[in-house]
Each structure stands twice: as structure tokens, then as C-alpha cells.
């Protein structure tokens, strides 16, 4: 059985590499590792080393499983495959935040897609949300037979770099977007207050459109802040993480939280809002959850002024080593094995 990956945000460099540091591009690269020789869906036919690119209409739907990362348009994608196939094979990969949709049409379309086609989710929280959407927005016969499974995405442990403690504590804005869901103004408010009480350097690496957002411009005006583009390579990204002292998370909702886990694994002290999505990432007794911005300020100040003691508390919460706990709970080997097994379970060899 062949595999094809459909992702509307796909960008391919001239050398045949999948471009981008965002989660979508990262996951396309991971799927290409899990399924060597998989095809990628794009408007123009092209052959690159290791994979082919072709329009959906040219995919052999009878012999190919299409993994749709866009999800909401799966019914339309299936119909396009059906035009040239007897029994098209399509599954959803639900890796993004379901709260992006709020209209009746969008919610109904997303729910119907996940009811009609096997859906693989990036976390237990995402799977539970999709189950609820399917139950609420579709009819009972479809909801009863929906196939929804999940596994945590995990991270590639071989990217880790040795710690390099900075001369001045570095606080990371743990996202590449300054979208409303991330609540960047709360981040700016808290780090601004901490900067008045301790010497820090705040770093924010953003996608190009968000570099000129109002919040990014506001942050960049501070002498203690650096706002710039994404690192050009994954190695440089991990090198930067290895010199990060702490981060402050302010998002209202996350489906998983890959950036936070990577920063924790690299040795940064993470300060989280007391929300379900954050508690799902770390040990139950993790000590740095804030209920208001005053608590966030106090915790972040401790993280940059008494870092060694904070790291000791993190290890204690994990029963000895937070890094070992993260390795055990967020290893991407589990993701790669699970998604491959589910393709076989749902569609055969």
C-alpha cells in the first residue's frame, strides 16, 4: 500500500526539502520518514529525491492511502479521488487546534469529516474533543462507527544539544506566532514587569508575517528584548534552546504543545497557565502553574534568579529527572510506530 500526504501549507525548496519550521512542515517531514517514498499532494507534478509530488486527481486511490492533514475538506478530497478510483482510501491526521473553527458550517464540516473517515489525533485531548464534536454535530449511525485514535506526537531526542548557560538569563516566547490564542500581550505584560526586577533577555523567533504584528513591534521596542526571524536550521534552533533559561506560556488552548516540551527537554524552566492542556504535558506535581499574572510574574522571576533550585524542583516533581520523564512520555518513536500501525489496521498492508 502506497502513502500520499495532503497538506495545503506544503512548500518545497528547490533542493527537494520540505520548507518551514512550523508544526505542519515538521510533521510532513516526519511522515516522510515513517513512510519512505510517500507521495506529496500539490498542484504540479514533480519528482524529487525520495518522493514524488502530484495533484490529488493523479493519485491511485485504490492503491494509495491519502493522509489528509487539512481534515475539514476530506469529503471533497474523497470525491476527487473517487472520480478515478473504485474504493478511495483516506484518513485524517488531526494535528492542529480544533478551536480555530467557530461557525456552524465549519464545525459541522469538521465533525462530518471525522465521522466519515478514520481519524488519527495528535493527543488524547484532541481525540476527546473530536469524539465530542462527532457526537454533537453528526447523526447517531455515523457517530457510533467513527474511528478515532491518538498518540502524543513526541519529539526527536537526537536533536538535543549540550546546555550552555547564558551570561544573562534568557526568557523565550515559546511560539512562532503572535496570534490571539497565544495571548502574547499577557506574555509582554509579565516579562516587562520581571525585566524591572531582574536582568533578563527576552527572545522571540517568529514567522515573517508575525514579525510586523503590533505585539511583536511593542516587544521589540524594549532594550532587553530581541525579536527576529526563525532560526535557519533545526540544529541552530536546538542550540538556541540549550541557552534558554526559562519560558512563559500564555496560550488559552493547545492541542499538544511541541514547543514547550522541546524547551523543557533542553533545560528551560517552563512557567505554565493552570490549564488542562498544560497539565497534560508534565508530571502531576509539576510546580510552576500560575492562576493569575501576579503568580506568573513571581514564578518567572524565581526561574531567572534561582534557576538551579527551580530545576531541582522540576526533577523532584518527575521522581528524579524531568528529562527522563519527558523522554518516556514524549518520544516520537511511539508516534511513528502508532501511526504506521493504524494505517495497517484501517487499510491493510
Least reliable range by pLDDT among 33-42, 156-165, 290-299, 319-328: 156-165
133 neighbors 106 (Cβ within 8 angstroms): no
Question: Which 3 state secondary structure label does DSSP give 165?
Answer: coil
Which grid cell is 202? Answer: 527576552
Q: What is the pLDDT of residues 283-299, one digit of tens each?
A: 999 999 999 999 999 99
Residue 187 vs residue 157, higher pLDDT: 187
Question: Which 3 state secondary structure label does DSSP give 151?
Answer: coil
Query: Would you state the pLDDT for residue 10?
Result: 92
Q: What is the mean pLDDT of residues 118-135?
A: 95
DSSP H or E segment with residue 289: strand 289-290
DSSP H or E segment with residue 278: helix 276-279
Confidence of residue 301 (pLDDT cuts 50, 70, 90): very high
Which grid cell is 345? Answer: 489496521
Residue 115 predicted with pLDDT over 90: yes
Q: What is the pLDDT of residues 179-201, one digit of tens each?
A: 999 999 999 999 999 999 999 99
Q: What is the mean pLDDT of residues 8-27?
A: 87
Q: What is the mean pLDDT of residues 257-266?
A: 93
Find how far residue 113's CA is from the centre of its chain.
21
Query: Would you state the pLDDT for residue 196?
Result: 98
- Name the residue with cell 467557530: 102
Closest CA to 130 of 79, 179, 88, 96: 96
- Name the residue with cell 504543545: 257
Domains, the chain, with CATH or none:
2-154+332-347 (no CATH), 157-329 (3.40.50.2000)
Which grid cell is 82? Answer: 473517487
Closest CA to 272 of 237, 303, 247, 244: 247
Amino acid at each position: 500500500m502506497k502513502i500520499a500526504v495532503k497538506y495545503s501549507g506544503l512548500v518545497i525548496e528547490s533542493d527537494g526539502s520540505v520548507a518551514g519550521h512550523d508544526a505542519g512542515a515538521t510533521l510532513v517531514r516526519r511522515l516522510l520518514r515513517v513512510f519512505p517514498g510517500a507521495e506529496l499532494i500539490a498542484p504540479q507534478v514533480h519528482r524529487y529525491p525520495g518522493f514524488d509530488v502530484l495533484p490529488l486527481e493523479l493519485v491511485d486511490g485504490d492503491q494509495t492511502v491519502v493522509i489528509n492533514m487539512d481534515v475539514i475538506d476530506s469529503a471533497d478530497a474523497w470525491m476527487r479521488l473517487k472520480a478515478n478510483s473504485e474504493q478511495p482510501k483516506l484518513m485524517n491526521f488531526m494535528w492542529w487546534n480544533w478551536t480555530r473553527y467557530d461557525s456552524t458550517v465549519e464545525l459541522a464540516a469538521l465533525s462530518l469529516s471525522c465521522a466519515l473517515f478514520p481519524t488519527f489525533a495528535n493527543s488524547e485531548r484532541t481525540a476527546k474533543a473530536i469524539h465530542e464534536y462527532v457526537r454533537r454535530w453528526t447523526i447517531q449511525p455515523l457517530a457510533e462507527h467513527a474511528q478515532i485514535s491518538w498518540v502524543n506526537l513526541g519529539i526527536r531526542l537526537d536533536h538535543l544539544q549540550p546546555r550552555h548557560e547564558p551570561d544573562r538569563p534568557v526568557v523565550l516566547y515559546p511560539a512562532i506566532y503572535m496570534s490571539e490564542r497565544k495571548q502574547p500581550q499577557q506574555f509582554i505584560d509579565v516579562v516587562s514587569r520581571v525585566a524591572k526586577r531582574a536582568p533578563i533577555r527576552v527572545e522571540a523567533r517568529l514567522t515573517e508575517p508575525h514579525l510586523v504584528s503590533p505585539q511583536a513591534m511593542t516587544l521589540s521596542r524594549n532594550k532587553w528584548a530581541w525579536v527576529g526571524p526563525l532560526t535557519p536550521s533545526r540544529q541552530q534552533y536546538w542550540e538556541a534552546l540549550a541557552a534558554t533559561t526559562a519560558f512563559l506560556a500564555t496560550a488559552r488552548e493547545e492541542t499538544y504543545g511541541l514547543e514547550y516540551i522541546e524547551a523543557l527537554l533542553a533545560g528551560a524552566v517552563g512557567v505554565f497557565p493552570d490549564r488542562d492542556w498544560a497539565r497534560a504535558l508534565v508530571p502531576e506535581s509539576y510546580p510552576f502553574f500560575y492562576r493569575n499574572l501576579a503568580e506568573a510574574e513571581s514564578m518567572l522571576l524565581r526561574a531567572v534568579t534561582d534557576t538551579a533550585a527551580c530545576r531541582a524542583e522540576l526533577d523532584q516533581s518527575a521522581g528524579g529527572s524531568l528529562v527522563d520523564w519527558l523522554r518516556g512520555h514524549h518520544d516520537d518513536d511511539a508516534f511513528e510506530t502508532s501511526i504506521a500501525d493504524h494505517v495497517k489496521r484501517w487499510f491493510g498492508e
